[in-house]
Chain A
């Protein structure tokens, strides 16, 4: 996963997740508060430059992560520029352009704020932050287990797919569907097997409740958060700046 690679290998890895989350929250608020599409685009550019130059996330990786969402946005904007007329059927609707421009600007600014957070913060740090924010223990347990097991399942999928492809499992559409069905059934069964193994391992260590882990400590959390709040304030000012 590209986002995980960047999250563990960037210059802001040691910055407090609370600070990065506060900055991302300000970015999201600013995206919705932007006075014009131009202001929203400035916000998006500002967030993207900060993530790439400030945190040192490679620009190519940033673009590869953003590309699917931007492609979806482009298609959606084309859809919104088409109107259904009861008399003439489908027609272009240039009158919807201001709304579409505002939507595109807002989405890009919000996407840049989200990417600024996820490309600089590993998910384990975000889960620890959610624990501090009193997220329900049931949801945290689900997140911790899901995060740890998804890499195990990804490896299993990779190995099974390699074996299926080596045996012409994707030769036709019918073969493809059958291979995918067998792969999914095999994985579904592993859910029970792996869950039982984890449960037995936890019982062997007297673990019968919530899963607890040491939370990482960040030496300059207060300073980081103060800087993030200031920078977030700057984003909000940028969003309201009309010219």
Chain B
């Protein structure tokens, strides 16, 4: 799902970096204000970034029999909020490029836009919407993680289709092509990640609900499912 180093044309690489920059600045500003009020959050966000990095290295069994890694987009947004996920996601994606050669420096802006901005905001928005309509915690968590993942894949498909329009059918045909390729591999993975996130939240609420009060996940529900 990461776009590799040098894959995007230079104007697209610069454009996606410019598109991500205001969100990153907003996220950094928000975290800075949060740290002034609660200095203990400094360690929390740093450790959360390490958690997200390690999470991305775990193997996720898929219903098609293949194997990939969880993105942690939905879980991160629910645990720490979408705005905090922008700088955290930026650091994780930078580390993936520098420590694993997964992604790249010239494509960092595009990857941040899909995985640290679109995915977390979609996941968090869907979760809040679902809770407002009175859906159960498990359904909301599944929808947030699964559709947050799919929103990330769709954004990546749009980025690639825009950069490489089809010789015959242009942008729309190219989006169909990249979307089709992603659909085969990523829809089963998104479902797997949705199920995994439900299992994680169930375990957390069962054994550690008291420690997790006040998180976006439990906001306004008193920690109850």
Are A and B genuine complex partners?
Answer: yes
Enumerate chain A interface residues (CB-CB to B < 8 A). 1, 3-4, 28, 31-32, 65-66, 68-69, 72-73, 76, 79-80, 82-86, 93, 95-96, 99, 103, 106-111, 113-115, 118, 123, 126, 136, 138-139, 141-150, 152-154, 157, 173, 176-178, 180-192, 194-196, 198-199, 202, 208-209
Chain A contacts for B55, CB-based, 8 A: 184, 187
* CB contact between B28 and one of A65, A76, A107, A136 (< 8 Å): that residue: A136
Q: How far is the CA of A143 from the CA of B63 in the complex (A)?
A: 34
Are A4 and B92 interface neighbours, CB within 8 A?
no
* CB contact between B50 and one of A86, A96, A113, A153 (< 8 Å): that residue: A153
Nearest B residue to A76, CB-CB: B7
Is residue B19 within 8 Å, beta carbon to beta carbon, of the partner chain? Answer: no
19 contacts between A and B (CB under 8 A): A79-B177, A111-B4, A111-B104, A113-B5, A118-B97, A118-B98, A136-B28, A139-B87, A142-B87, A142-B88, A143-B95, A146-B46, A150-B50, A177-B192, A180-B61, A181-B202, A187-B55, A195-B40, A195-B48
Are B6 and A157 interface neighbours, CB within 8 A?
no
Chain B interface main SS type? helix
Q: Report the 9 A-B pairs with minimum CB-CB distance, sorted nearest first.
A: A145-B46, A110-B6, A181-B199, A185-B203, A149-B50, A146-B49, A84-B173, A107-B6, A195-B43
Are A182 and B199 interface neighbours, CB within 8 A?
yes
Q: How far is the CA of A143 from the CA of B53 in the complex (A)?
A: 11
Chain A nearest CB, measured from B219 CB (Å): 17
Interface string of B196-207 (1 = CB under 8 A from A): 101111111001
Q: How large is the interface on B (under 10, 10 to 19, 20 to 34, 35 or more residues)?
A: 35 or more
Q: Given that A123-B98, A146-B49, A198-B43 are contacting pairs, would A84 and B168 also be in contact in the complex, using a CB cutoff of 8 Å?
A: yes
Enumerate chain B interface residues (CB-CB to A < 8 A). 4-7, 10, 28, 31-32, 35, 39-40, 42-51, 53-55, 57-58, 60-61, 63, 70, 75, 79, 87-88, 90-92, 94-95, 97-102, 104-106, 164, 166-169, 173-174, 176-178, 181, 192, 195-196, 198-204, 207-208, 211
